[in-house]
Structure 1
Amino acid sequence: MAYLHVFLTLLGFTQAALYNLSSSSVHILTTQNFDKQVTRRRDKWVSVVHYYKENDGRSELHAVEMNHFAEDWQGVFIIGSVDCDKYSELCEAHDIREFPSIKVYPPYPAPVSLYEGEVTSKSLSAYAAKYVPSNVIEISNENLQTFLDDKPAVPKVILFTEKAGNPTLFKALSVSFESKMFFGIARKDDDAAVKKFKIKDFPKIIIYKTVDQKHKEYSGEIKYRSIFEWLNVYSETFVHGGNEESSSTKSWIIEALPQMHKLSVDDICYKQESMCGIFFLESQPDEHIITMSRVLASKFSNKDRGISVKFMWLDLNTDKAYADKFEGVEKDKLVFLKYGKRSRFVLHQGELSEGGIEKTLTRIVGGDGKFTNIKGSLPELAPPKTK
């Protein structure tokens, strides 16, 4: 059965492209997006890139392992692929002389290296892990209170563990939330921290707010994406710079699909690095749209796939003039807005389905999204309706 499974897996790859734009967790890298997704992110991030040709004889197996690798580790690392049949100049620019080749791009100033080990998810992650930077502080009985008291409005994230070392996943999270949260690691024998937070089982992750002396425990899977999403809710209830802003006064910060209005637009869209997905509706979004937005925002969060997206909905009854600035837009449509001095957008074509929207986002990531410039400035949005 094992041999049959491998055969059927390989057959599937030979009948289609090695990496599927809509279903693979591996980034499809091109001449248009390579610098943005890999080169410009070498200040903090480690990238692992598979260079291949369709008929090089080994890339079918490599692609299986790279997909497994990306399913578990995308976000911790940037995991991508380049089709050298299509992008030969890009492969030449990166000195690719044999196919397949896997290169690792660590943070500067470490040099790019050619990976020559076994091509498995376990081996690739172990090799790339040594390059992951860290903002994690080792907590002891002596420095616990200093760690907690430092900038009391900034959330503190603590991993309690029985093991030695600093997990790669936790180091990557500390980089993702740099300047938004402080990260510490405490061992089982650090009894001051263990007693203070009443830790009884390991591993355990908590988030602590010094200003109100309260903490919350993480109860999900010990996986990067799950922990990131949990922490992200708390990071977004704080104004940049450490000044707390209650989620009760800014409810849109923690909503899965907030309404776009005068008060919310800066926090979610205008003053963020994320691209903004806007649903144009005449009534409150239904559960299908809300759930779909949550899933897609998770898939395209923290720029793991070369782009970060947050979704909002706009009420056409109160902001028709705003919607009119988007050429071709009508009710039940979705656009992706890049806001700035030269605001522009991509109109999603087709049904509002998860798969269809993901394909539109993937085209944008790949440099194939056709943006339309918005003429003039966007009008001010209406304030939210009082309840």
Structure 2
Amino acid sequence: MEILHVFLVLFAISQAALYNYASTSVHILTSQNFDKQVTRRRDKWVSVIHFYKEKDSRSAIQAEEFNHFADEWQGVFIVGVVNCDTHYELCESQDIREVPAIKVYPPFPAPVGLYEGEATSKAISAYAAKFIPSKVIELSNENYQTFLEDKPAVPKVLLFTEKSSVPTLYKALSVAFEAKMFFGIVRQEDTEAIKKFKIKQFPKIILYKTVDAKTTEYKGDIKYRSIFEWLNVHSETFVHGGAEESSSTKSWIVEAVPQLHRLSADDICYKQEGLCGIFFLDSPPTDSLINIAKDTTNIIGKNKDRGVTVKFMWVDLSADKDFSSKFEGIGADKLVFLKYGKRSRYVLHNGDNTIAAIEATINKIESGDGKFINIKGSFPDLSFPKSNK
């Protein structure tokens, strides 16, 4: 059976690429995006990278398992791949002397290391997990109340567990939401906290908002991406250093396709990581367009840590003519993907506004094939929303 399996794998790679960026969970890394996706994120993230060659049989066997690893652990780690046939210089710069090779890039100052264990998802994740920093606070009967009351504007996340260790995905979440939320872990013997929150079964994750003593229970699968999305909704409704600001005063935080205007710009685009997917419209988006944006967000959200994150929004063409003029040839119903910063630039979506076409443009950007156009000069001030003028 093992020989047959190897034969089938080899036959499959003769028909298709080992990694297809349109259907895999891995980051497709190139000379253009390696530093951004791996090196510059070594402040707190662990990257696991597979260096391979397309027609190499050992590479093919490892790629099958590495795809499983990415499906399960992308987000907890940055899981990427480099094709050493097409990016020989990058492989050489990373001291790849033989392929296939798996390298682990831990947070600085730990050195990059060659992984030499079994190329299975379980073994790789167990090895790489040792390098994940933790911002999780161990809670007890004596300190849990202090934890809850500290900085009341910041939400608290509590994991109730029977296990003695800190789960890998929970450590990764504490890093992802550092400075936005506090993470604590409560063991089975810490009965005071268990009694306070009426915990009847383990594991259990709750979110506690000190300012109103409100508790929200997580009811989804114990998987990184599901928990991340749940926490992300709650983290965005808080203003740090002050009091809670609800979605009733910042409606754009919870809208699927909010309007980009002077009040919302920082929250949904200017001060956020990733791309701003901006629809240029003569009137608010239709339900059909909102559903397309939602569905596209859900699709890319499943593989959110592949390298590109997108928040969709819309601009009123008539109210913000000066802003719109910064984008060459823009008109009604057009979509651009803006990367805002000191050197703002954008990619124009040339296809129809359908899920498949928009996803294809995002995939091109992710793979390094998207052609960015630089914005000349700074952006003019956006208009206020009509209700605030």
Give SS of 1:334's match.
strand
Alignment of 1:1-387 (within 5 A): 11-297=11-297, 299=300, 304-386=305-387
- Per-residue deviation, residues 115-173 of structure 1 (Å, max 9, x unmatched): 11111111111111111110000110000111011101100000111112000000000
Distance 1:365 1:315 in 2: 28
Q: How far did 1:262 drift?
A: 2.0
Deviates more, 1:247-256 or 1:345-354: 345-354
Q: Give SS of 1:119's match.
A: coil
Select between 13-22 and 41-50 the one with higher mean Cα deviation.
Answer: 13-22
Tell me by how many angstroms 1:373 deviates: 2.1
Which letter does structure 1 place at the counterpart of 2:369?
D
Measure the CA separation in 2 of the matches of 1:345 and 1:87: 25
Q: Secondary structure at the match of 2:252?
A: helix
Relative distance call for 1:372 and 1:290 in structure 2 (3 A) is same
Contact 2:275–2:310 (CA under 8 A) maintained in structure 1: yes
Q: 1:142 to 1:39 in 2, by over 3 A?
A: same
Cα distance in 2, alignment partners of residues 288 and 22 from structure 1: 24
SS at match of 2:90: helix
Q: Which moved more, 1:257-266 or 1:127-136?
A: 257-266
Tell me the secondary structure at the aligned position of residue 361 of structure 1: helix
TM-score, length-normalised on structure 1? Answer: 0.93
8 Å contact 2:153–2:240 — kept in the other structure? no
3-state SS of paired residue (1:49): strand
Identity of aligned residues (%): 68
Following the alignment from structure 2 to structure 1, what is the Cα–Cα distance between the partners of residues 75 and 142? 33
**Which has the larger displacement, 81-90 or 233-242?**
233-242
Distance 2:276 2:241 in 1: 23
| Aligned counterparts of 2:180 and 2:105: Cα–Cα separation in 1 | 26
Q: Aligned residue pairs: how many? A: 387
SS of match in other structure, 2:57: coil
Alpha-carbon spacing, 1:277–1:227, altered in 2? closer, same or farther (3 Å) = same
Mapped partners of 1:92, 1:340: distance in 2: 31
- How many angstroms does 1:13 deviate by? 3.2
CA contact (8 A) 2:336 2:346 kept: yes
Name the SS for the 1:238 alignment partner. Answer: coil
Contact 2:13 2:55 in 1 (8 A): no
Letter in 2 for 1:155: P
Pick which of 76-85 and 352-361 moved more.
Answer: 352-361
CA distance in 2, matches of 1:243, 1:313: 28
How far has the Cα of 1:385 moved from its partner?
A: 2.9
Determine if contact 1:151/1:242 at 8 Å carries over to the other structure. Answer: no
**How many angstroms apart in 2 are the aligned matches of 1:377 and 1:111?**
40
> How far is the alpha carbon of 1:234 from its aligned partner?
0.8
Asked whether the equivalents of residues 74 and 303 of structure 2 are also in contact (C-alpha less than 8 Å), the reply is no
Contact 1:28 1:81 in 2 (8 A): yes
Q: Equivalents in 2 of 1:210, 1:321: separation in Å?
A: 43
Q: 1:341 to 1:31 in 2, by over 3 A?
A: closer
Distance 2:290 2:2 in 1: 40
Q: Distance in 1 between the 2:202 and 2:10 partners?
A: 40
**Aligned partners of 2:25 and 2:70 also within 8 Å:** yes
Give CA-to-partner distance per residue, 1:295-348, whole Å, 9 cap, x none: 544536997223332111123343344323211222222101122343221101
* Per-residue Cα deviation, 1:61-93 (whole angstroms, up to 9, x for no partner): 211111111111101000011111111111111
Deviation (angstroms), 1:2:
9.8
Does the 8 A contact of 1:302 with 1:308 survive in 2? no
Distance change (3 Å), C-alpha of 1:10 and 1:212? farther
Tell me the CA shift for residue 99 of structure 1: 1.3
8 A Cα contact 2:25 2:303, kept in partner? no
Alignment partners' CA distance in 1, 2:344 and 2:36: 19
Unpaired segments ≥5 residues, structure 2? none
Other structure's SS at 2:305 match: coil
SS in 2 for 1:206: strand
Asked if the contact 2:10/2:57 (under 8 Å) is kept, the reply is no
Q: Secondary structure at the match of 1:327?
A: coil
Rounded Cα–Cα distance in structure 1 between residues aligned with 2:341 and 2:10: 45
Structure 1's 109 and 230: CA in aligned 2 closer, same or farther, altered over 3 A? same
Structure 2 CA distance for partners of 1:376 and 1:243, relative to 1, 3 Å = same
Select between 85-94 and 362-371 the one with higher mean Cα deviation.
362-371
